[in-house]
């Protein structure tokens, strides 16, 4: 999310008249207990207003604590206390933004011990308690399912399908030990595309976004992945 967006910027003005725009935030730290940062919310609100964002999305994680930025999107414990904290923060932030705020599932570098819920149950409880939508990152889901040994389709069947608003898809990489990482490199894995198609068949998802911020040499590198997503979206949205 940009720190400062000018509404009269000619590039932005042209962009928002030609394509739908969405705002994706990294700074709101939905899992942080304590008062919501009014300054951070105001910056997100100004940026969303400037580009005419249909909705704003944010990660369901920690990104700062005690005013100190965390260098990675840190997973939340799947506990009732974390549900209450995230939902309360979401309700406060939504009251300021004047547009929907949806949450994204993240890749988990680790899982906290003694969790009360599965990740899917935890996400579902936050969505219901905050009455908000889900940005379902199917690549994050695929990576977590491989790294932690569960069936991604079980996750999809546990979350409230009617709350899926948007999807993210991206490439990933693997280390020598076989652990997967969300690197946003090129090339969508066939299993990620299968998950995407399942979601389009079973939810009212309105938008697909291909994330690519690593090893991007030209826009042409994206065209194949974009074409795959367009074909899937048109296939299932035409039928519906």
β-pairing, 56-59 vs 101-104, is: parallel
Global model pTM greater than 0.95: no
**Using alpha carbons only, how large is the chain's radius of gyration in Å?**
18
pLDDT at 2: 45
CB 200 within 8 A of CB 240: no
139 contact partners, CB below 8 Å, separation of at least 6: 168, 169, 170, 171, 172, 182, 188, 189, 192, 211
β-pairing, 134-137 vs 101-104, is: parallel
Question: pLDDT 10s digit of each residue in the chain, 240 long?
Answer: 444 555 567 777 777 788 888 999 998 999 999 889 999 999 999 999 988 899 999 999 998 887 788 878 999 999 999 999 999 999 999 999 989 999 999 999 999 999 999 999 999 999 999 999 999 999 999 999 999 999 999 999 999 999 999 999 999 999 988 899 999 987 899 999 999 999 999 999 999 999 988 777 778 878 989 999 999 999 998 755
pLDDT at 6: 57
Closest CA to 67 of 24, 32, 97, 103: 32
121 contact partners, CB below 8 Å, separation of at least 6: 78, 158
């Amino acid at each position: 999310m940009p720190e400062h967006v000018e509404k009269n910027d000619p590039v932005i003005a042209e962009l928002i008249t030609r394509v739908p725009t969405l705002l994706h935030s990294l700074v709101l730290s939905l899992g942080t207990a304590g008062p919501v940062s009014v300054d951070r919310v105001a910056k997100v609100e100004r940026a969303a207003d400037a580009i005419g964002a249909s909705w704003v999305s944010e990660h369901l994680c920690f990104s700062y604590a005690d005013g100190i930025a965390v260098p990675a999107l840190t997973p939340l414990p799947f506990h009732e206390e974390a549900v209450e904290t995230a939902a309360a923060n979401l309700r406060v932030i939504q009251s300021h933004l004047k547009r929907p705020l949806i949450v994204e599932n993240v890749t988990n570098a680790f899982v906290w011990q003694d969790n009360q819920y599965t990740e899917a149950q935890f996400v579902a409880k936050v969505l219901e308690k905050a009455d908000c939508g889900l940005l379902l990152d199917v690549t994050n889901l695929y990576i977590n399912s491989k790294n932690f040994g569960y069936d991604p389709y079980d996750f999809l069947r546990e979350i409230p399908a009617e709350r899926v608003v948007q999807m993210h898809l991206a490439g990933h990489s693997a280390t020598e030990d076989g652990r997967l990482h969300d690197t946003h490199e090129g090339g969508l894995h066939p299993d990620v595309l299968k998950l995407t198609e399942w979601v389009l068949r079973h939810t009212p998802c309105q938008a697909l976004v291909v994330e690519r911020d690593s090893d991007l040499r030209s826009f042409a590198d994206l065209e194949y992945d974009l074409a795959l997503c367009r074909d899937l979206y048109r296939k299932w949205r035409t039928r519906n």
